[in-house]
Amino acid sequence: MKGALGDLVVLDFSRVLAGPYCTMLLADMGAEVIKIEKPDYGDDSRFFGPFQEGESAYFAMLNRGKKSVTLDLKSTESIQMIQQFVKEADVVVENFRPGVMERLGLGYESLSAINPKIVYASISGFGQYGPYRERPAYDLVAQAMGGMMSMTGFPGHAPTRAGSSLGDMGAALYTAYGIMVALHDRERTGLGQYVDVAMTDSMIALLESNMMRFTSEKTIPEPSGAKHPISAPFDCFKTNDHYLVIAVANDALFAKLCSCMDRVSLCEDSRYRSDVLRASNEASLKKEIEEWLSRYSVEEAVARLTEYGIPCAPIHDVRDIYEDEHTWAREMLVEVKGRDGKPMIVTGNPVKLSRTPANIGQSIPELGEHTAQMKRPVGKQGVIKNEF
């Protein structure tokens, strides 16, 4: 079945994580993604661990189903070849520092002059304009400057990076969203446009109510462990064998929790009559809940809480996720072909479409595997859609 984006051609100049994850999302939905890599070396992530049979699983996850073309972007011949291909492309994605693509003759103004329909997306640390435009950035920098680290971790400890690369991944998701918006607008106007996404902007956008707490109340959120800053009980709690989480964000759910605990009297306690009051008295409420949980294992507690309709969960590590039947039922782990056709497990696509579902690319491109196809003479009927 042709994917939802099966008529799109994407020229992907990006490398490592943010850009490749964005174009991976497009490839999963059927787009023809042509990854432009450095000759003899390729994307840096080809050398990132973990490895399976000598092949980077990191690279495989991000670049499944793409085509790999090696071109020297300092070569006039390569630049001219790309400029010809742009005539037939729909999207360009890059994540160099601002100004690099312009110096190569591959900036938005140059390519849109060749193809006014092109949607051109750039991902950078601080965006294409602003005082910090020239600053280099990795995920850690984005989490620091975007506010995420200031509120992650526990009180009294050093600021903590989130366990996943939210700066990169957030920017990738917003870029994919921006590309889809621009393509939709192109359907109406016939014109492409420039999509500028900054990693730090993405982090700020993901701060949600934490920023509103400052703009509304001048409160600066601080690290609070696993608990929620404005609701309770909404935290990690200890049972007699491990930890689980309970998420109660309204009075009706709290009443159910009190019934589950056989402690209906807690609902009438003046400290716990509203969400605001419970958040103010979170420490004493947590003590009550953990005293009750001490009778149960995580498995027993989750079963009882779920019976009462209370949002809760055990805390899964990656092995738990791998062994959970729900993970496989939702196709959040899928098998692709690595080097020499050997199977490799990668994460799936969380977007489930009913008529045109994601189709995870079944092969990982070898460096430069599709270069010869790109170097064929340009034909009258176009250069990309007929060649690949």
pLDDT tens per residue across span 82-111: 999 999 999 999 999 999 999 999 999 999
Most confident option among 158-162, 257-261, 376-380: 257-261
- Domains and their CATH numbers in the chain: 9-206+325-374 (3.40.50.10540), 234-238+243-314 (3.30.1540.10)
Res. 289: pLDDT tops 90: yes
Q: What is the DSSP string of 82-99?
A: HHHHHTT-SEEEE-SPTT
- Name the residue among 373, 342, 347 with its Cα closest to residue 360: 347
Compute the distance between CA of residue 175 and CA of residue 182 in angstroms, rounded to an integer.
Answer: 10
SS3 (DSSP) at 187? helix
pLDDT of residue 278: 95
Res. 136: pLDDT tops 80: yes
Angle formed at CA 323 by CA 317 and CA 329, multiple of 5 degrees: 115
Compute the distance between CA of residue 126 and CA of residue 172 in angstroms, rounded to an integer.
Answer: 14
**Average pLDDT rounded to a whole number, residues 153-179:** 94
**Average pLDDT rounded to a whole number, residues 285-292:** 96
**Average pLDDT rounded to a whole number, residues 343-364:** 90
Which region among 39-43, 121-125, 170-174 has the lowest average model confidence (pLDDT)? 39-43
User: Predicted confidence band at 48 (pLDDT cuts at 50, 70, 90)?
Assistant: very high
How much of the chain exceeds pLDDT 70, in percent? 96
- Which entry of 184, 228, 316, 370 is annotated as an active-site residue? 228
pLDDT of residue 379: 37
pLDDT tens per residue across span 184-211: 999 999 999 999 999 999 999 999 888 8
pLDDT of residue 385: 56
pLDDT of residue 380: 35
**Average pLDDT rounded to a whole number, residues 247-268:** 95
Give just the sign of the alpha carbon dihedral 78, 83, 87, 92.
positive
Res. 378: pLDDT tops 60: no
Judge whether 228 counts as a catalytic residue: yes
pLDDT tens per residue across span 210-243: 888 888 889 888 888 888 888 999 999 999 999 9
Residues ≥6 apart with Cβ < 8 Å to 383: 84, 85, 87, 88
